[in-house]
Structure 1
Amino acid sequence: MAEQPRRSKPKEKPRGTTKKKKRMTPRKWFFAAFFTVVIAIVCGIIGYLFITLNGERILTEKADMLELGEASIIYDANGKEVTKLYDANANRENAEYNEIPKQLINAFVATEDQRFFQHSGIDFFSVGRAVVKDVIARSKVEGGSTITQQLAKNIFLTADKTFFRKATEASIAVALENKYTKEEIITMYLNRIYFGKGVHGIKAAAEYYFDTDLKDLKLWQMATLAGMPKAPNRYNPINDPESSMTRRSVVLKLMYDQKYISEQEMDEAKAVAYEAPADLEEKETDPYKAYIDYVIEEALKVMPGMTEEELRIGGYRIYTSLNQTAQQAVEKEFNDDDNFEKSPDDQKAQGAMIIMDHRDGTIQAMAGGRDYVRKGLNRVEVKRQPGSAFKPIVSYGPALETGDYLPWTVLNPDSQKCFGDYCPRDPHGASPVTMQQAIKESRNLAAVWTLNQVGVGNGVAFAKKLGMELTSEDRNLAIALGGLTEGVTPLQMAEAYSVFANGGKSVDPHSITKIENAENKKVYTYKAPPSKQLMKKETAWYMTEMMQTVLESGGTGTGARIDRPVAGKTGTSQHGIPNFNSSANRDAWFVGYTPEWTAAVWMGYDITDKQHVIKKSSSQAAAMFGKVMKQAMKNVPKSSFKEPSGVKHEVKEQVSPTNFNAVYIPEQAKVQLSWAAPENSEGITYRVYRKEKSESDFSVFVDAATTSVDDMSVFPGMTYQYYVVAYNAEEDKESKPSESITVEIPETEVDIPEQPMEPDKPDDGEIPGLPDDGTNGGEVSPPPSGDPNQPVETETPGNGGTVSPNPGGNNGNGNGNGTAGPDQGAGGPIESADPGAGNSNAN
């Protein structure tokens, strides 16, 4: 029998190493679940008690804050109070629950809190939905606050959004639900909520925006009011009718979805256009509305998370850079109808203006429009086409920055009148012109030619540095004349020109200097960002030099002149209306600066059509600048533009006199010299050079202040050569000589009359002509007049006397026969009208 193979015994595990797997018995499962539920219940009870008790405590302590907060105050640059953002006695009238239409409550519930009548202060369903949407979007896109929570939140006027803040809101919401009925809560909410324009409460809002009582509100009006609390400054129908109408449609759709209204009611209410009450202007008493609106917007940006309601009734002290002298000047001129074109109907010609100190970026004054019925449409922040005011930003500025162009560089648009399919119009033609003259006269072809030379990409990049973010559609030569896809705002234009005024350094426009809370602790202090050199200081200086000529005679902005240095540029944009043949414009601009302040003025219509176009061009915008700035700056110390080191200066060649003429006048035995003065002859005199034919070199014959002189020192039979030069004594520079003229003086015959001969007398021993010394005993006798041994003296021409300059007009040749020339300085140059008036993009 074969031997079976041995089986190896399994290795024995060391004792003590065996680990038995524990099993969860049903009993253990029961106890684990039981204690988990108990702990959860205990935690829930504790949390509920905390929320309830904490909310009750806070509600008891701060119940008075349910009615009103402390007014925030705005101060001007001198620390003087300008206005309160909220007054307990202004624009508030509480309504009782039975005064509020049911459909109005439905509109707010449908929009703000759809489950308001079902939850107990906290809507966990809405919170969960909001969390899911936030997770999907990976950011906070939807809130879960109920109307009760919003009412609770308004008690606490801090801007933090921490967990504890939200927990406190929730606890107060629960306390409110326990203490008040739903009807009382919605009534408190509607009486407290802010509706923009300083209006608090639903009753005051109905009266202010619609001039009606609550009971008479129509569905479209209810929906309009229900849409406003989310953003009262943006969604109220006066500030922005279009945004308000869009928001109204959202509210109506929500009401329809929740079966509060029919589809027909929804459609009818969507279609109604808002018209402001006739007496609305009388209701608005806040001063400087556009500036205050801007301050509020800026405060909400620098205090992230704060609502406008919290800002207004948070007891804050907001210190601004408002200059009341400047602001009052703006208000005065914008309230004067004579400063604006007359409209054919009720749509007024509008305007906007902003003034800022480019030395520190502080906004001094602002006008958002001619009236404040629509103050929310702050035209300082509305984009318009800048026209020729954009030339320094996108064309000439980039050219100067390359270093290849200077103000006296000659531009040659005559070499190219069309650029592909683009052929810009220019009433000045296409002749060569210096850059300075092109800016002064606002020549179109020169600007387009220059941009084409430096490249559109460089022009766009330069504009971007100055705060102009152009679109991809703007990469074309039309931007040289301000033809932009979206346009730019007056604020952007003021900021860009401020860089030129500030030596090429960046400027940060702002209106708020600091904010303090109710406890007088600083919660915000303005800190200027680091200054950046956005362009060469030479570029900024050259541009300032050139734009000063815009205000000189022959420039397009003469109306902007004031009693201090000003540089600036006009601009107009074409109306762009199809099938409308007119030279009228859509927009008119003047943007300019003194050594201290920069200002931008825009004029036009909110809606441009054939009946609503600008006919006076940019001259009225320049005039507005001049009128306002003269008053606004009366208390600002005067200074001058400071030329930086390293800039180049044009070496100007003195222009020679023309039409030089020299004629001999026999009757007066003189040479009469005359010539025509060259252009720009201010401050120059003239030097006449002469040489006799036998002389080798010319010498100065006379210095004259007039354009004619006489040479009385000529001799008969002699030949003389003359030429004249213009002389600049300040620069000690002569022009090139005029043409030389030769003048021959004819011979003059002298007639000597014959004298009769006397008979000889006997010689008595006297020697004629000797003095009587007692030796000869006779008198000295004169020689006989006819003695041929004595020379005969003939009359010769005057010897010319002493040559000296004679600024009084006499030719100074010593004979007293000089003639006075014309008074070159009398009266000064005559100012011409705006050459660009009525020409699209030409000024």
Structure 2
Amino acid sequence: MADGPRTTKKKPAGKGKKKKWNGKKMLVWLFFTAAFAVVCGIIGYLLIILNGERILTENQDKFVMEQASTIYDAEGKEVTKLARINRELVEFNEIPVLMRDAFIATEDRRFEEHAGIDLWSIGRALVKDIVARSAVEGGSTITQQLAKNLFLSHDKTFFRKATEASIAVALENKFTKDEILTMYLNRIYFGKGAYGVKAAAEYYFAKPLDKLELWEIATLAGTPKSPNKYNPISNPEKSRERMNVVLVLMRDQGYITQEQVDQAKAAAEKYEPPVRKQPTGDEQKYLAFIDFVVEEAEERTGLTEEQLRLGGYDIHTTLNRQAQTVMEKEFDNADNFEKSVDEQKVQGAMVIVDHRNGNIQGLVGGRDYVIKGLNRVNVPRQPGSSFKPIAAYGPALDTGDWFPWSNVLDEKRCYGDYCPSDSNRNKYIGSISMSRSIKESRNASTVWLLNEIGIKKGLDFAERLGFDLDEKNDRNLSIALGGLTHGVTPLQMAKAYSAFANNGVEVDPHSLLKIVGKNEEVIYEYKTPEPKKLMEPKTAGYMTEMLQEVLQKGGTGTGARIDRPVAGKTGTTQHGIPNYKSSYNRDAWFAGYTPEWTGVVWMGYDKTDKQHLLKKSSSQSAKLFAKVMEPAMKGMPVKGFNTQTDTEERQKVNKVTGLNAAYNPETKMVNLSWNPVEGESITYRVYRKEASESEATRLMDALEATGTDDMSVQPGMTYQYYITAFDFSKDVESAPSDRLSVEIPAEELNPDTPEVPEVPEVPGDGTNPPDIEVPPVDGGEPGTPGNGSGNVNGGGNTNNGGIVPPEGGNGGTGGGGNNGNGQTTGPIDNGNGTNSVDPPGSNSGTGGNMEVQSVPNAENLPKSAENDAIPAEGGMVN
């Protein structure tokens, strides 16, 4: 078979040519694309250059002139201009080499290499912005930052950044690197009104540039990132953290060694702000409040402090001039504070909030605030007993199972290694009402209460009120007495107490109302947040009832009373210095409120040591509260508290009726009887008060009968009695019955008995005369020592008012002269904790009344930088 003709399969026409020509076309296309890109790049670069040159030319003889912003008070009246510029220019050769290195290492490590724009930094910033889905990284060079400060607004947009880049390139073409760096260091803002490194060095360190140490240079280099946050006066801790970052950057880039880093860190710990000349006139008014407003505006608007001060804004605030003026006047009065042994003054802070709307009426950040510049309204300190309503009584009330008349157990008890102590005049008096426990600031019963409801309830309640407690280290019973790991600020306390005053609804303290721009555009306006219930209204109502009792006779806060209703709580904390026994304190508080305003006062030293402790307790804080609040509220109508409580709960146990009380001269007893109260679990409690006593004491308990006899009466005395019914199945006590007084006749001498010669009364016998009110717990002034000696309970003598041994008694008997006012330095318990006692008062030979802190073993305490996690006070002590 013959082979047929051979055929070849042809390729489709045109396909081979397409492959052949595809490569050529691609090369051509790439060439022209690249050429086009190069041309566009050149044109773009030329446009950038031309645009930057144009801006420089138009502004050749001028910078953008800043316009000072204006602060207005709550009534819309001008208070002050914000910008008081402190700027001193420096030449390049005056700038230390180490300072140039510090700023370059921190702000622009490739400063000497780029031509105004650092593409590598921009790329890195772009990646971070994409990851974060917002503009978080600037990527700006020093030249770009100078361009922004010289000519541009501060908004962060693409077009502004493009213009900034064009000006930066133009600046690099026009000036040398040294000139650019010099302009930058003369221009940037360092906080506190200081512009440029020379003014900043003088303000923060009182030194010329060539005298600055490495740590000071690093501090300045770290400040411009956020002047208000990182300057060493306003925030020493944050400033040191930022300084450490700068030092590490300098080390990593080869400017300094690790040894220099370590030496600089050690030197920074000793920083003390320099004393500067105090401004006069309007320049020194309202400084703490104004600084607070600016800081709040930064947080709420995103604008920098420099922008706010120099942006020409109208800033409307909540400032109440009457309240602020009174506060500053009283803080300028040295008589309101203890006298220090040296130049370090006893410091203080105060803030007043209108809890009806959250408007801050005024605040003081400290004495001589203009000199120190530290706003102590935002500085954490240990709250002591002022934290009891937050950690123990408030959460107990909010369970719905506890009420002001519910009973707590005031007895000496240990919870593991923690043994809280009472140092009231009458220690560990057993079952008492919650109201009395908080009134007398008793420690043992407060800790017992928290243990009953559970620590978690205390922590949760405190968190709702705005306290970010340490979940691990604060999970212990010492929080009942204010022993916290990190402490609390006066502003936080004002917010928490405002919730009690506001029927349990959260209050948002704020100082800023509105910011208006140059063109009348509203930059920011405060919007009241949705009401948030933090506790039941009746919880707040019952708390207000109990805290009002604190200011009544026998309470710890009588010094805070003014011409209108007030509720509040005192608080002091032990010094916490290891291996140092002293009755003096580190912190003294009063937190209180009227139906309209909440005010918080703190006193103490900035740095606590053996020489710098408070000799008096929170009585001075309470008195300062009253001295400020009464005139600050002058002209406001006097109103009562509009509390919400459940009257039905008070009637769960009926009141005892039909009380009869009579003295039987034959049996020498008082016979008591009353009508029975309906109920299956009812017992009765008998209370008695002698005329000289400020409070009734429970005489008998758990009586099932409707009558009893008092066999412990004394001739010549007058006693007042009342009865309550107690339902032990519900743990609820009724309101007191009517009160009856019984006078016990004095015994006549038997004529057949030889008369005993009268012994002259020895002055200063260590007792309180009848009808003399014992000063409140926090109120004792140091007594005048007696001239003799006397025995005290627990053994030992008190010579010249000297030292009472452990578990000492009632002050000691003074000799003659000056009524023999004994002086007590309080009992010392060497068991699981120590008791710190305020100096005694001078009540005719008694030890007076004191507020006491109970402190667990050091190893059981929460740790803090200043060793200040210390529980709070007790009550009255002789």
Structural mapping, 1:598-609, within 5 Å: 598-609=598-609
Task: Give the Cα–Cα distance (whole angstroms) in 2 for the partners of residues 486 and 271 of structure 1.
Answer: 23
Distance 1:254 1:400, change over 3 A: closer
Matched residue, 1:506? 506
8 Å Cα contact 2:350/2:364 also seen in 1:
yes
Task: Give the Cα–Cα distance (whole angstroms) in 2 for the partners of residues 123 and 541 of structure 1.
Answer: 63
Distance 1:426 1:118, change over 3 A: same
Gapped runs of 5+ residues in structure 2?
667-686, 693-715, 724-735, 743-769, 779-848, 854-872
**Do structure 1's residue 171 and structure 2's residue 166 form an aligned pair?**
yes
Task: Give the Cα–Cα distance (whole angstroms) in 1 for the partners of residues 143 and 58 of structure 2.
Answer: 18
Matched residue, 1:660? 663
Q: 1:186 aligns with which of 181, 196, 203?
A: 181
Matched residue, 1:833? 776
Matched residue, 2:541? 541
Matched residue, 1:436? 435
- In the TM superposition, residue 270 of structure 1 has moved relative to its aligned partner by 4.5
Q: Root-mean-square deviation (CA), in Å?
A: 3.7
Distance 1:183 1:139, change over 3 A: same
Task: Give the Cα–Cα distance (whole angstroms) in 2 for the partners of residues 12 and 213 of structure 1.
Answer: 93
* Cα deviation digits, residues 375-419 of structure 1 (max 9, x gap): 5532211222211111111211122122222211222344x7233
Matched residue, 1:624? 624
- In the TM superposition, residue 223 of structure 1 has moved relative to its aligned partner by 3.3
Structural mapping, 1:170-569, within 5 Å: 170-261=165-256, 268-272=263-267, 273-281=270-278, 285-304=283-302, 306-372=303-369, 375-414=372-411, 417-427=413-423, 428-473=427-472, 474-569=474-569
Task: Give the Cα–Cα distance (whole angstroms) in 2 for the partners of residues 154 and 256 of structure 1.
Answer: 29
> Tell me, what secondary structure is at the counterpart of 1:22?
helix
Matched residue, 2:103? 108
8 Å Cα contact 1:411/1:450 also seen in 2:
yes
Task: Give the Cα–Cα distance (whole angstroms) in 1 for the partners of residues 234 and 88 of structure 2.
Answer: 22
- In the TM superposition, residue 442 of structure 1 has moved relative to its aligned partner by 0.8
Task: Give the Cα–Cα distance (whole angstroms) in 1 for the partners of residues 356 and 167 of structure 2.
Answer: 49
- In the TM superposition, residue 139 of structure 1 has moved relative to its aligned partner by 7.5
Matched residue, 2:639? 639
2:304 aligned partner, one-letter code: T
Task: Give the Cα–Cα distance (whole angstroms) in 2 for the partners of residues 521 and 680 of structure 1.
Answer: 70
Q: 1:40 aligns with which of 37, 60, 71?
A: 37
8 Å Cα contact 2:278/2:284 also seen in 1:
no
* Cα deviation digits, residues 562-599 of structure 1 (max 9, x gap): 11100001112222222222232222111000001001
8 Å Cα contact 2:117/2:141 also seen in 1:
yes
8 Å Cα contact 1:583/1:838 also seen in 2:
no
1:443 aligned partner, one-letter code: R
> Tell me, what secondary structure is at the counterpart of 2:430?
coil
2:773 aligned partner, one-letter code: I
- In the TM superposition, residue 652 of structure 1 has moved relative to its aligned partner by 4.9
Task: Give the Cα–Cα distance (whole angstroms) in 1 for the partners of residues 160 and 597 of structure 2.
Answer: 44
Gapped runs of 5+ residues in structure 1?
664-676, 683-706, 709-723, 728-732, 740-826
Distance 1:737 1:270, change over 3 A: closer
Equivalent pairs counted in the alignment come to 691
Task: Give the Cα–Cα distance (whole angstroms) in 1 for the partners of residues 146 and 430 of structure 2.
Answer: 71
> Tell me, what secondary structure is at the counterpart of 1:572?
strand
Task: Pick which of 251-260 and 16-25 moved more.
Answer: 16-25
- In the TM superposition, residue 171 of structure 1 has moved relative to its aligned partner by 1.7
Task: Give the Cα–Cα distance (whole angstroms) in 1 for the partners of residues 575 and 479 of structure 2.
Answer: 16
> Tell me, what secondary structure is at the counterpart of 2:461?
helix
* Cα deviation digits, residues 784-840 of structure 1 (max 9, x gap): xxxxxxxxxxxxxxxxxxxxxxxxxxxxxxxxxxxxxxxxxxx99836332662411
1:479 aligned partner, one-letter code: I
* Cα deviation digits, residues 264-319 of structure 1 (max 9, x gap): 66555554343433435459944322211211111111112x22222221111111
> Tell me, what secondary structure is at the counterpart of 1:445?
helix
Q: 2:63 aligns with which of 39, 61, 66?
A: 66
Distance 1:652 1:592, change over 3 A: farther
8 Å Cα contact 2:591/2:601 also seen in 1:
yes
1:494 aligned partner, one-letter code: A
Distance 1:499 1:607, change over 3 A: same
8 Å Cα contact 1:368/1:380 also seen in 2:
yes
> Tell me, what secondary structure is at the counterpart of 1:472?
coil
> Tell me, what secondary structure is at the counterpart of 1:578?
coil
**Do structure 1's residue 93 and structure 2's residue 88 form an aligned pair?**
yes
- In the TM superposition, residue 615 of structure 1 has moved relative to its aligned partner by 2.3
* Cα deviation digits, residues 226-265 of structure 1 (max 9, x gap): 2221122233233334443443444344444444456666
8 Å Cα contact 1:395/1:480 also seen in 2:
yes
TM-score, structure 2 length as denominator? 0.72
2:43 aligned partner, one-letter code: I
Task: Give the Cα–Cα distance (whole angstroms) in 1 for the partners of residues 117 and 11 of structure 2.
Answer: 63
Pick the structure with greater CA Rg: 1
- In the TM superposition, residue 541 of structure 1 has moved relative to its aligned partner by 1.0
Q: 1:76 aligns with which of 64, 73, 78?
A: 73
8 Å Cα contact 1:68/1:313 also seen in 2:
no
1:453 aligned partner, one-letter code: E
* Cα deviation digits, residues 108-150 of structure 1 (max 9, x gap): 2232222223322111232234445667888766532111111
